[in-house]
Amino acid sequence: MRRLGLLFTVISGLVLMSTGAFAQRVTGIGVRATPDGAGFNLKTGLSKHLAFEGQLNAGGILGLEGESFNAVGLLEFQIPLPDNSWQIFFGGGIHGGVWDRAVWERYSDGRIFTNRAEPIFGFDGIGGVSYSFKKTPLGLSADIKPAVNVFSSGPDFFPHNMFGLTARYEF
């Protein structure tokens, strides 16, 4: 829990510093929807081709792999397309949180699975495409964000919040 608090403090500090230092860059705040959950999203430009994205995600709403809540910090490279409203982006970062994981085991009382809450920490990759409307302060993006946990019981694929659609208010 102490590590999660430290991670959240570091990510929050980076967001606040980058927002103040690069106020002329586009910053957007919005919602990210995934097939198994949703979350809040903040993205701020650090330079013409570099951005920081922070996410707070809840996943596993379907309950197949258990439920999770995590904070994600990503550094993204942005490539503008010929129409500057469109960009391709890719990058990576880290996540930390809690996963109430469904574990399939047979118990003497007849249960065949149980949930185990465990802290998680790991690495994320991201890639996608974004569009910013020219006449309204709205940005949309679609992405894929695979993740691997290393803080749990060893390296493990993290299936929550992998595909996302994001809508942001840009200012």
pLDDT (tens digit, 9 = 90+) per residue, 84-123?
899 999 999 999 999 887 666 666 666 566 667 888 899 9
Tokens 């707070």 label which residue? 56
Higher pLDDT, 72 or 152: 72
Domains and CATH numbers, the chain: 2-170 (2.40.160.20)
Task: Read off φ and ψ for residue 10, nearest 5 degrees.
Answer: -65, -45
Average of per-residue pLDDT across 127-146: 96
Q: What is the pLDDT of residue 48?
A: 87
Q: Which two tokens stand for residue 169?
A: 């208010």
pLDDT bracket for residue 26 (50, 70, 90): confident
Average of per-residue pLDDT across 26-46: 94
80 Cβ neighbours under 8 A, 6+ residues apart: 86, 87
The model carries a pTM of 0.78
